[in-house]
Structure formats: structure tokens, C-alpha cells
A and B are shown apart, each in its own frame.
Chain A
Amino acid sequence: MTDARVLGAAYDALVVDFLVPLLEGREVKLAQPIAPGCASFFAQTRSSSSDADARIFEALHRGASELTTIETLRWPSMGLLAMSAAMYDALYLTDPSLDRVFARSARATIRDWARGWISLVGVPQTRGEALARHVLVERFEHIRRKDVVVKNWAYTYRFFGRRPPANVVALPTIRFVRQEETTRPLENILQREGDVGMLGLDLPGLLHDLKLRSPVTQLLRAPSNQGFRFSTSTLAALSDRAIRGAVAGHLLRDEWQAAAVLGVAIVEPSLVEQPMLLSIALQLVLEMHLVCALDGRAQTPTVRELVDPGAIRYAALLVATFDDERAIRELHAFDDDHRAILQRRAEAFRPRVPRAALAEMQGLLAHALPHEPAFLPS
């Protein structure tokens, strides 16, 4: 059984030395790897720093508020702590000094510990939790490392993520000491540490699994992820009206690239089988149409964009909405001017939407509508 003082020190290392500087953009210090066995202790302890919690809350709240309105979020929460610990252990694995005798064998254990932490992260239960996870993942991806190469008249030393000792850089003039500093982002670190992958650690896969625990991140990066599919956690996040609005607004930065991905995701058989979940996904698409039309962001799709099957489905869904009696009844709740703008957009799409795609979307709408009384975004 680990001593409580050691566990307390580990919590401080995670929160005070790792999480606070990560969110505030300062130097992140790693000490010893943390095993998931600490979870039950972490769930009940507090940091010894008097202001660490407040600073973390403030940073998370600020980052979350940039996406959408939020009243508060819960910190500390076990989901965020487990994600932080997984990041902590994953970063520990990037240390090249582990590639030594006796230390090398610890890598697989630490990787398993990171996976253990990830497995502790469930579906976010609140808007604040979902947004805070996205903030955490974003900050994690911005992490970088400073590598220093020190050369003197006789030797060359390499320090990865560590400062050179004083004796190495002493008497620079006499010993012809030269230093070269390179700051490398996390992505570059993972590429360079090829041996990590060769050892079968699959660090990129580990980080991918970690990002999957942040549904907001998944949704916001959908346009750049050709294999994007709606998951339970992403649909749960989208069921929150504020998050759905924020995601729709974000995806409209490149509407047709997002349309190509979403158009494929909404016809995923596993999603179509569950009409209630399907209606949430369709609401996202229709909200994108609505925001795009009413904010005046509408761009005429190029011919190439409407060749993409996903983009065609995206456009066809709006046309199909105006063909469905039940959907039109809900559209009556809109202001007349807004409804007219939306209808003009739909009519502009109609001649360019193939009949088959229109019929497919009409079927999809008919499938989802009975299960969602307030179908259209308001």
C-alpha cells in the first residue's frame, strides 16, 4: 500500500506542477509516472496549493467560455483528473532517457497505466465537463519541448527536455562551448521518437484514444477527420443546445468540408438504426443550415463540392425538410423573414440535388421525426 504522503505528493505533482502550468502556458514538470491505483485517493484529496484549484478553474472556464456560454463547471472532477494523469504518463513515455537498460522495461507498464487512466474517463455528464475536456486536450496538443545540444572543443552533449548542467556550459569561452536550442511541438516529438513506436508502445494510438474522450474536440475537428462518425459521447454532447450551436458555428468556418464529412456520418447504419440519436445528428446539420443562412455566411457551393456525396446529402437534407409536412409545421415557429431566407437557400439547392439523394434524406427525416417532438433547432 502506497504511503498517503506519497500519494499526496503525486496529486500535487499532477495538479500543481503539471496541470496548472499546462493550462497557463508555463513549464510543465514531470516527476514519477502515476499509476491508476491512485484514482481512489485522488477522488478524495485536495491540492496542498491554496490557489491551484482556483487557477485551474479560471483557465478551464475561460477556455470553455470562448466556445459557448457556460455558467460554471466542476473542478476538480474525476474525469478531468484521469485525463490529466493519462496525459502525464503519456508525456513521460516521450522521455528519450527511458531508452536505457533497466528503464526500458518500464515503458510498457507506464503505457498500460496511461491506458488505465483513459479507461477511467467516462462520457461527460455536463456541458462544463465536455467543454473543459476540450480545453484540456487543446492545451495538451500545444505542449512543446526544448532540446538543447551543447558542443565544446571535445564533446557533444544532447539534453532533451532538460536543462544542461552548469558544469557542461561552464567557461564557454575557454572551452569553446556552443549551444543549439530547438523547440519541438508534441507532434514532432512523437515523429522523432520513432523508436517508441518500434518498441510497440503505439503512443499515437494512445493519444488518439485520449482525444476520443473529449467529444467536443471530436466534433470540432470533424472536417479534418475523414473517418468521423457520430459516437454516443458526441451525440450526448450535441444534445446540449449550447454545444450544438457552438459546434455548428465552428464547423461553418469551412462549411462544405464539414458537409462532406457530416453527410457520410449521418447515414452510418449504426446511427440510422437508432432514430433518437439520428435526430440529434440531423439537428446539427439543420442548425448549420440555419446559422449559415441567417448569419449571411452562405457561400454558393462549387460544382466540385456538390459532387461529393456527403455534401449532396448535407444540401438535400435542407430541401427535404421543406418537403416534409411535419417539419414545415415546426418551421412555422420561425419568424417569417427567417423562414423565407431558409427557404430561398433550400430552393437554391433543389435543382442541384439528385433525386436519389433527396429521397434518401426524406426517408431519413421521416425515420427521425416521430422521435423528436422539437425537431428543428430553435
Chain B
Amino acid sequence: MTSFLERAALHQTRFRTPGVHPDSRGVVLGQKGLLLFPSLDRVVAFFRAYGDEGSLDEILPSLTIQRVVSALKTRELVVTMAAESSYRMDRIAAVARLAGGDVFTGTQRQFVKYRDAVSPLGYDISEVVEAKADLVVHHDAYRQAYNVERDVPFKDLVLKLTPYRLPPTERASGTRFFATAELGIGHALVGYLFRWRAKARVALAEWPSSSAFDERPKRLHVFEIEDAPPRILALLRSLPGVTVFEPLARAFGVEVGFRHPISLESCQSLFAESTLTLFRGDGQVVVIDPLPPFAPVRTLVRTPMSVDGSAEAEAAHGIGQTESVIVPLRLAPSILPARNVVATVLPASQRAWLAKLLYVMPPRALESVQLAVGAESLYLIDKNGIDGVPLGRFFCEVAHRIYVPTGMTLVPAVQPAVLEDMLASQRGNHVFFESDGAAPRVVPEHAFSSLSRSILRALAGTVVHADMPGREDPALPLLSYGPEVRFPLWGAPGRDETSAESNVPKLGGGSR
């Protein structure tokens, strides 16, 4: 024990430290808790750890973060909050010490070290120091006076932190998402989401110009999408200008694939209900305040309409002038959601795109898609839905083997059976109504074949001989004597050794 502090004793009621008193357990406690951190990253570490451990909301009402400076001009950070009870302070103290901070308690200016294992009931200062400072902390190792330099609002701290990227295995797969889209792509997204019948709402958020040089205020489409299939989510994430956010609560969200350093769920009171705060992965924060009204995407689909003057002309001439009413079958835009989208037609120029796509198509799609190759177009049909081929103009089947482009309908809206009767001569073939107003195109049934069978070049196998390699018996060896010599033993190798060695050891097969 140094001379700065004294250990508090049980049932001690009088302390030199102003504003502290024993609580019900006898622990020395002031009205405030004070955490002293050497740097901002330690402060962030404390909030990260405390947010994961408990709720930051319970300390937020009384929380202040201040940058303080000592007489020696060293800058540190002080976090103060209402002490409430020694139970809460114990939890705060444990996390703060873990993050590298010191823990004090006090009421106004004088703060004494909070209890630890050495002194379970806390500490009292040995003498009160009169210093011209905003606060004085009394530690068992030091005594330091600080002046407050400036406040650091907690919300500013949260908004300035950059989310970090999550590994793929930890990425959430929720069902509700926010997405922001630049103005140019927003309308296309509205149409896309409407076409795929996604449950989505859209709003237009607007911010005033941040600079006098900006031509116009910044605007973004904000989508709220529910129960979107993963493919839509993947598409949106891959689109430039579109950012997808995972909502963590009603009023805020973080970009999909990222996580905010501080557990935002534990500090929901920071974000007002009438606002929407979206944290992007690159560190930018989109704060929409106030929240604009959202509208379902189906109400915003553009429906081009034209007034056909011919009907008026007919009326002018009078109905009685014609003996019968014969009208051609025409295509007209429709705002009804597309149903039974089973075909797509690609211009022949996109043949190369389809070829590239074939390499990544799943086997099921390859097997179920039927392909017919025309002179100008490629026709693809999949009775299970043509979702697997994101190319070309999609067609709905309005009657058996009669197709119209998505977003359009045949007028007059005759029954499917009537259409089939009208095209009875083409029964068995596929009839495509094109939006260019030309006569419907008929593709014979026999022109269609399974995609998996029609795309591949003919395979020409190379015959590989897998027979056993021919056994080639070596030829019979031919004996050839050397030159005739008069004395064969003269100079014969080993002759001397043979006569000298009487006992030659017998050698086994494997030895050498």
C-alpha cells in the first residue's frame, strides 16, 4: 500500500474522499464510475467487450466520454457513467480492466480507485488534494489531476467506426434486408423486384447538398425487401451502386457481410425510431432522418400507355356502318405480376452469351431446358420455370404452348381455350407473340431438344488400345567364341588366386 490510498474497513462510514459512501455490501461507492483509458482504441475495446457481454443501453443515459489532459499535457480518455450499484460497477470494472483501463469511483472531482482483489471493500484517499483541475484520480500507484479538453459523444464514436468484413461462414442469412440504390438503377430495380414478385417496399431518401458546387441534392432509393430468394440478394450485392444491408433492429443495419465493431443491438437507444442508420462496409454511414414513406414496388412500376385513336375513329363513323366487329389480337402492357414464366427468346447475337452461361448452369437446368435454334432467335423453354437462364426476353405461357412477353398480355383478354382454338392449325407447335407487333412466330415442336443434348459438339473418341502389352520374348542368344589362342589359360583372370585359395567360402544367393 502506498501513501496515496488506504484500504476501506468494514463498517467504515466516514471517508476522506468527498462524495463516497459504503453501499449495502460495505463497498466504497460514489455516484459515478470513472474509467481512465490511455487511448481511444482501448475505449472502443471496452465498448465492444461490454456490448457483447451485456447491454450498453443501461449505461448510455449517463455515459460521457471526455478527452482529458494532464498537467504534463498527456492526453487520455475518461468514460464516466452513473455507478448505480457495486454490482454494475463490478461488471464494468472487470471489462474495463480487461481492456486496459483503470476504474475509479467518486461523485464530482475527486475519484478514488474502485475496489479490487487487494481491497475488497474499496479504497479511501489518505489526503484530499486541492488542485485546479476538473478531476483528480487517486490510484494506489499514482495521483493525477486532469482538465477536460473536449467531449466525445458516444454516437459520434459509433458512427465513425468502420465495420469489419465477416468470414463467409459467419455471414447471416436473414429474410429481411435494406438496400440502397443510386437513382439511375433504382427504377430498374423496382421493375426487377416487381417482375420476380419480391415482397419489397421502396422509398426515396434525399439529403441537402453538402457543397454549393453540387448540382442537386443527393438522392438514393431505399428498398426494404422481405423473404427475398438468395439469388436476388446475390444479384443485388453484385450490382454496382447497390448496397445491401442486414437490419439489426428496426432503425439501423449493417452491410451484408460486415459487422460493426460495437454490438449495435446492445445500444439501440442511440438510434431513433423515426430514422434509419445504415453502416456501409467502406465506413460510410447513411443516416436517413426523417424516414421517408415506403411504398410497395408494384405501385411504382412504370406502365407505358398509349391512346389508340382508331377506336374513336370507329366511333365517329358509327357502329352501324360495319357489319361485324373483327379486331386483331394485340399485345398490351400489363401490371399484373408475371406468372408461368417458362420461356425466353434470345436474339441470335446473344448466342455467345448463352454458350458461356451453359458452362455454369446446374445439371438440373441443363436437363430440363429445351432449346430451338431459329435463324434470328434462340428459343428456350423450361416447364419448371426459366429462372436458370437470365438472358433474353422472358415469355409467359398464357395458354398451352402459347407465349407472350412478360409484362404484357393479349387483348382482347380472351380465354386460353379460345386462343388454342384460334391456333388450332398450329396445335402441337409453340407460338410466340413478339412485342414488335409482327405476326406470332411458330416454332415446331420437333425443333426443340434437350439443352444438354443439343449444345455439345459431336464427341469423337480416340480409340485407346487397352489390351495387354504384347509380350515380346527376347530372341535366342547366339554363342560366339573369341579368337583362337594357342594357350587358353595364359593370362586367364583369377588363375593365380584360384590356385592360392584352397577354401573359397560358399556364397548364398542374396549375399554379395
Contact = CB atoms under 8 A, between A and B. Distances in A.
Given A25-B475, A103-B485, A103-B487, A116 B510 contact: no
Interface string B480-512: 111011111101111111111100101111111
Contact of A36 (B486, B488, B494, B512): B494
Contacts of A94: 479
A196 B197 CA distance: 108
Contact of A161 (B480, B493, B512): B480
Nearest to B488: A106
A10 B496 CA distance: 14
Contact of A37 (B484, B496, B508): B496
Contacts of B512: 43, 74, 76-78, 81
A129 B510 contact: yes
A362 B494 CA distance: 55
Contact of B480 (A27, A74, A110): A27
Contacts of B309: none
A34 B479 contact: no
Nearest to A97: B484
Contacts of B475: 25-26
Contacts of A41: 494
A97 B484 CA distance: 7
A1 interface: yes
B477 interface: yes
B494 A7 contact: yes
B476 interface: yes
Contact of B476 (A74, A106, A142, A162): A142
B179 to A, nearest CB: 67
Interface string B209-235: 000000000000000000000000000
Q: Which of B485, B486, B491, B494 has the most CB of A within 10 A?
A: B494
A17 to B, nearest CB: 9
A291 interface: no
Contacts of B478: 26-28, 143-146, 183
Contact of B492 (A34, A91, A183): A34
A23 B488 CA distance: 26
A82 B508 CA distance: 10
A126 interface: yes
Contacts of A33: 488-489, 492
A79 B509 CA distance: 4
Given A6-B493, A38-B493, A109-B489, A79 B500 contact: no
Nearest to A189: B479
Interface of B is mostly: loop
Contacts of A161: 479-481
Contacts of A145: 478-479
B491 A6 contact: yes
Given A43-B507, A76-B512, A102-B486, A30 B477 contact: no
A149 interface: no
B306 to A, nearest CB: 86
A54 interface: no
Contacts of A36: 494, 498, 504
Contacts of B501: 37
A263 interface: no
B50 to A, nearest CB: 68
Interface in A116-141: 116, 119-126, 129-130, 133, 139
B509 A133 contact: yes
Contacts of A98: 488
A2 interface: yes
Given A25-B474, A34-B494, A162 B481 contact: yes
Given A29-B482, A33-B489, A110-B488, A2 B509 contact: no
B51 to A, nearest CB: 66
Contacts of B476: 25, 142-144
A50 to B, nearest CB: 19
B60 to A, nearest CB: 77
B480 A29 contact: yes
Interface string A217-252: 000000000000000000000000000000000000
Interface in A1-58: 1-2, 6-7, 9-10, 21-41, 43
Interface residues of B, number: 35
A36 B502 CA distance: 11
Interface in B265-280: none
A188 to B, nearest CB: 12
A113 B498 contact: yes
B499 A37 contact: yes
A144 to B, nearest CB: 6
A265 to B, nearest CB: 23
B457 to A, nearest CB: 43
B151 to A, nearest CB: 83
Contacts of A102: 486-487
A242 to B, nearest CB: 16
A366 B225 CA distance: 89
A30 B485 CA distance: 12
Nearest to B501: A37
B477 A37 contact: no
A39 B512 CA distance: 10
Interface string A55-87: 000010000000000000010111111100000
A217 B473 CA distance: 18
Contacts of B491: 6, 32
A95 interface: yes
Contacts of B480: 27-30, 161-163
Contact of A77 (B489, B497, B506, B511): B511
A129 B509 contact: yes
A120 B497 contact: no
Contacts of A133: 509
A235 to B, nearest CB: 15
A106 B497 contact: no
Interface in A180-230: 183, 186
A191 to B, nearest CB: 15
Contacts of B493: 2, 6-7, 9-10, 32, 34-35, 38
Contacts of B473: 25
Most chain A beta carbons < 10 A, residue from B475, B486, B501, B509: B509
A94 B493 CA distance: 19
A364 B477 CA distance: 46
B474 A1 contact: no
A125 B475 CA distance: 30
B440 to A, nearest CB: 70
Contacts of A21: 477
A35 B494 contact: yes
Nearest to A21: B477
Contacts of B487: 102-103, 106
Contact of A144 (B479, B492, B506): B479
A141 B491 CA distance: 29
A37 B481 contact: no
Contacts of A1: 496-497
Contacts of A120: 504, 506-507
A35 B495 contact: yes
17 contacts: A24-B477, A28-B479, A33-B492, A36-B504, A38-B493, A38-B494, A78-B512, A80-B509, A92-B481, A95-B481, A103-B487, A109-B489, A124-B508, A124-B510, A144-B478, A146-B479, A161-B480
